[in-house]
């Protein structure tokens, strides 16, 4: 079901520092169609054994590209495994990955990809079409291997390799989205030898095709990536990417100031302002591909229609959900919590993807507490002696799960409590740790919680995980679902956009689907946050943005952020101020948390961040 910690709003906590997992450099020959992100402060020099250090608090379920859905490992895998087709840096358009070209049949059912010859896996073995066929077939034939991206191959009829460098994907019905995006291709000679590929954590002896390979992982302590000299675009200029865990976001900021880390992302507005003007530090405010929302348990069910979870019965009533939306002053909330670093939201497709984003329209609610009260009256909820509404002896008392360590979520809870009380709704804010929130939302044990996802440039994936077919079972096994949402009307619109090749008509269907989702109040979308990040400009330079105009360094749909990055002139490669006391405190807390917590490898969570 939803993922709280995985794809959460980047605004209030650095838990998204993982998105810095976009590391490498473009030194090899790129085709004319390949867009490279423009460099920010692009002047630098060569350095030996350069190491970029990144602060992170990102959770890891595993590094298995077939099953992992946490943001950090998903982002890591973007640099370890190349897709057939990438999203370019300039404007998110499709560009070369393993495939250097592709075309479709006249009826739109057959996609043919030409694999670039001469590419090598990080262990020196040839990359061929058979690796693509193996990857896609596993996802098509084994539901466990389709846990992360299975919705992307539901329309596949067959995948074949006529020769070593040609892949032919035959679809059940024509589809507009390119079938070659978003799926990491793995080496058949490695994965076919695994006893249990779906259950493999893939954190040792990793073989990849991307700019980096995963060298080591220590839960709640560190992740280390090494440059892949066989990467088809050329070996990165940064030799090592090292992630150090912190559980306190302010400690991450202090570590950047002290020179103990080189990059942080997911800053709060206050943290960004505190870093502006700091010696040796540059900040970046980018238009992100995220949304932040209030997730609502409107009655989760299995694919067979069996209800489960502990959601309040009132939330199944559309009028109650509409009343909650009208009772929340989202404009004031955004201004007070996010200041100038977020924009008003309409749907789960952010405005950074302008053509797909649902424009505001006259059907959308404005803040109107009196109208909200009338809706609750119509729904049969009458005010009790204590001011809290009742119906059939039950109070309208709702639980809101928030991350105890996230100041943004705490602030949201503080604003919502009196606003909902004015409507006659009691709000009980339950602050806890991210693991607990993830576990509870997975099995429907919540009323509301604060959520957010990173959306891919083509809305296909995010739309697909809102369909009825994408609901998991009561234990959370099976497909990934955004909110357990199920609507026949939405499903029909999803199918229409999926097969529509006329882009203008497809955009119309996407907008209609988003409007349906809005009308059903499947969630209350709060805002689209800017991505606030900072880096040590005295140590590294040449970072790339996606999109090139006002984009972000971390949390990209690709590996462009550090692709052009290199050590700055005069910077000591791999040198720094040493681990400051605050850094050791941050690490110590993380290690302690890992020691007493449930092993992350055993925790599976449904959510997105297609970082």
What are the tens digits of pLDDT across the range 397-450? Answer: 999 999 998 889 999 999 999 999 999 999 999 999 888 998 899 899 999 999
**What pLDDT shows up at residue 407?**
84
Residue 313 clears pLDDT 90, i.e. is over it: yes
Residue 7 clears pLDDT 60, i.e. is over it: no
pLDDT digits (tens, 9 = 90+) for 112-121: 999 999 999 9
**What pLDDT shows up at residue 10?**
32
Q: What's the average model confidence in pLDDT over 305-330?
A: 97
Grade residue 540 by pLDDT with cuts at 50, 70 and 90. Answer: very high
- Residues 6 or more apart in contact with residue 605 via CB below 8 angstroms: 3, 5, 6, 59, 61, 69, 70, 438, 439, 442, 476
Percent of the chain predicted with pLDDT > 70: 85
Residue 192 clears pLDDT 90, i.e. is over it: yes
**What pLDDT shows up at residue 435?**
82
Q: What's the average model confidence in pLDDT over 478-482?
A: 84
Among 213-217, 325-329, 455-459, which stretch is predicted with the lowest mean pLDDT? 455-459
Give the integer Cα–Cα distance in Å for 298 and 466: 13
Q: Which is higher by pLDDT, 249 or 500?
A: 500
**What pLDDT shows up at residue 151?**
85
Provide the b/e sequence for 578-599 (b: ≥16 CB within 10 Å): ebbebbebbbebbbeebeeeee
- pTM summary value: 0.81
Contact 97, 560 (CB under 8 A): no
Contact 92, 357 (CB under 8 A): no
Residue 45 clears pLDDT 70, i.e. is over it: no
Q: Are strands 448-454 and 397-403 parallel, antiparallel or unpaired?
A: parallel
Q: What's the average model confidence in pLDDT over 180-189?
A: 96
**Burial group, residue 112, by CB count within 10 angstroms (0-12, 13-18, 19+):** middle
Among 36-50, 297-311, 316-330, 487-501, which stretch is predicted with the lowest mean pLDDT? 36-50
pLDDT digits (tens, 9 = 90+) for 232-287: 999 999 999 999 999 788 899 999 999 999 999 989 899 999 999 999 999 999 99
Residue 34 clears pLDDT 80, i.e. is over it: no
Residue 547 clears pLDDT 50, i.e. is over it: yes
Which tokens is 337 given? 């919590």
Q: What's the average model confidence in pLDDT over 297-325?
A: 96
């Amino acid at each position: 079901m939803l993922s709280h910690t995985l794809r959460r709003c980047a605004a209030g906590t650095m838990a998204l520092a993982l998105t810095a997992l976009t590391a490498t450099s473009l030194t090899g020959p790129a085709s004319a169609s390949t867009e490279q992100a423009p460099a920010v402060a692009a002047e630098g020099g060569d350095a030996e054994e350069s190491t970029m250090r990144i602060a992170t608090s990102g959770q890891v379920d595993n590094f298995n590209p077939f099953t992992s859905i946490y943001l950090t490992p998903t982002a890591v895998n973007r640099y370890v495994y190349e897709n057939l087709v990438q999203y370019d840096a300039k404007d998110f358009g499709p560009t070369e990955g393993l495939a250097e070209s592709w075309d479709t049949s006249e009826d739109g059912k057959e996609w043919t990809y030409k694999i670039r010859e001469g590419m090598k896996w990080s262990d020196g073995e040839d990359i061929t079409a058979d690796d693509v066929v193996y990857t896609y077939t596993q996802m098509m034939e084994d539901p466990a291997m389709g846990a992360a991206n299975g919705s992307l191959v539901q329309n596949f009829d067959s995948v074949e390799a006529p020769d070593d460098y040609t892949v032919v994907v035959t679809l059940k019905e024509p589809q507009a989205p390119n079938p070659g995006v978003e799926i990491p291709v793995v080496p058949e000679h490695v994965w076919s030898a695994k006893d249990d590929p779906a259950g493999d954590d893939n954190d040792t002896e990793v073989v990849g095709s991307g700019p980096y390979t995963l060298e080591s992982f220590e839960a709640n302590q560190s992740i280390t990536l090494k440059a892949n000299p066989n990467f088809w675009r050329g070996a990165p200029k940064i030799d090592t990417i090292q992630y150090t865990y912190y559980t306190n976001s302010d400690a991450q900021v202090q570590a950047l100031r002290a020179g103990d880390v080189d990059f942080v992302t997911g800053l709060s507005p206050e943290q960004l302002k505190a870093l502006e003007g700091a010696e040796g530090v540059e900040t970046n405010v980018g238009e992100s591909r995220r949304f932040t929302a209030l997730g609502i348990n409107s009655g989760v069910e299995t694919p067979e229609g069996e209800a489960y979870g502990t959601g309040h019965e009132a939330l199944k009533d559309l009028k109650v959900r509409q009343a909650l939306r009208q009772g929340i002053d989202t404009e004031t909330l955004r201004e007070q919590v996010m200041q100038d670093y977020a924009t008003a939201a309409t749907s789960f497709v952010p405005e950074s993807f302008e053509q797909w984003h649902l424009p505001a329209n006259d059907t959308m609610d404005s803040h109107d507490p009196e109208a909200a009260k009338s809706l609750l009256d119509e729904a049969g909820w009458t005010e009790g002696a204590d001011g809290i509404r009742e119906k059939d002896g039950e109070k309208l008392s709702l639980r809101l799960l928030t991350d105890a360590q996230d100041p943004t979520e705490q602030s949201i809870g503080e604003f919502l409590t009196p606003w909902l009380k004015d409507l006659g709704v009691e709000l009980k804010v339950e602050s806890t740790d991210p693991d607990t929130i993830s576990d509870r939302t997975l099995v429907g044990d919540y009323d509301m919680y604060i959520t957010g996802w990173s959306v891919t440039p083509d809305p296909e994936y995010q739309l697909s995980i809102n369909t009825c077919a994408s609901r998991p079972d009561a234990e959370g096994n099976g497909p990934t679902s955004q909110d357990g949402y199920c609507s026949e009307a939405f499903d029909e619109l999803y199918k229409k956009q999926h097969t529509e090749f006329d882009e203008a008509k497809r955009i119309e269907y996407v907008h209609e689907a988003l409007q349906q989702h809005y009308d059903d109040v499947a969630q209350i979308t709060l805002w689209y946050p800017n991505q606030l990040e900072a880096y040590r400009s005295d140590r590294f330079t040449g970072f790339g943005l996606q999109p090139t105009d006002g984009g972000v360094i971390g949390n990209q749909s690709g590996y462009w952020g550090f692709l052009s990055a290199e050590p700055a002139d005069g910077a000591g490669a791999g040198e720094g101020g040493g681990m400051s006391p605050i850094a050791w405190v941050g690490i110590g807390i993380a290690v302690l948390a890992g020691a007493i917590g449930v092993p992350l490898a055993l925790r599976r969570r449904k959510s997105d961040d297609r970082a």
